[in-house]
Amino acid sequence: VETNRVEAFSDGVFAIAITLLILGVVVPTSERGRLGHDLLELWPSYVAYGVSFVTIGIIWVNHHEIFRQVGRVDRTLLFINVLFLMLVAFIPFPTRVVADFVRHPGDRRPAALAYGITLTVTALLFNTLWRYVSGKRGLLREDADPRVVSGITRSFIPGVPLYAGSTLLSLVSPIAALVLYGSIALFYVLSSSLFGRDEIGEAAA
């Protein structure tokens, strides 16, 4: 009961951030008679929309998982959660930057960097949230299963290094980094669906 309103507020921000992504897919306004061509040219926007939608979806699933273990909320947790949501709600911005600039070689690197930095900081704050919840006495539910708790802890280990590594990679090859961002999301969904929980696939985000 105690945690209901935090979850509802968080879910609201998740749902809005994920749905606002569509505003980054901009209806073409070029001259008439070329709509078919223009819609095909928009493919980076569709891909960026898909990758960010799935990525925010993954983060939401994991946030869900964390809060199922939470029994009590204090003000520090509320504020860590607000900072974390601040990053989640920011994701539509670098998503659109990547979609708009990925085809221009001179702008690809800063676009990939902006996306990677955003997701790395998101992963960092997500880890902070979980460490605070699992580390402070009295926040976890009394009946929380220690194996589930340590399973979550383990599954969150690869998230920050993966995104930080991809971000660094974008300095060398922005395209490789962008492919990696998409692959992390894809791999996570597939492995999570195919092998169930507590597999390495749960690591991202």
Applying CB under 8 A, which residues contact a copy of itself? 5, 7-9, 11-23, 25, 27, 32-36, 39, 49-50, 53-54, 57-58, 60-61, 64, 74-76, 78-79, 82-83, 85-86, 89-90, 92-93, 96-97, 100-101, 104, 106-107, 109-111, 114, 189, 192-193, 196-197
Which residue, 39 or 168, has its beta carbon nearer to a copy of itself? Answer: 39
Both tokens of residue 107? 């702008």
In the bound complex, what is the minimum distance in angstroms from residue 146's beta carbon to a copy of itself? Answer: 21
Which contiguous run of DSSP H or E holds residue 151?
Answer: helix 146-156
Please, which residue, 58 or 123, has the CB nearer to a copy of itself?
58
* Token duo for residue 53: 């939608």
Closest to 121 in 3D by CA, of 79, 155, 90, 97? 90
DSSP H or E stretch at residue 121: helix 105-135
- The nearer residue to a copy of itself, 7 or 148, going by C-beta atoms, is 7
Using CA atoms in the order 122, 125, 130, 136, what is the torsion angle rounded to 10 degrees? -170
In the complex with a copy of itself, the residue whose CB is nearer, 83 or 176, is 83
Q: Strands of 8-133 (E only): list them.
A: none
Is residue 132 within 8 A of residue 69, CB to CB? The reply is no
Minimum CB distance to a copy of itself, residue 134 (Å):
17
Minimum Å distance from CB 85 to a copy of itself? 7
Among residues 132, 60, 65, the alpha carbon closest in space to that of 91 is found at: 60
Least distance to a copy of itself, CB of residue 186, Å: 11
User: Residue 20 CB, nearest distance to a copy of itself (Å)?
Assistant: 7
- State both tokens at 143: 């009946």
Q: Which is nearer to a copy of itself, 166 or 192 (CB)?
A: 192
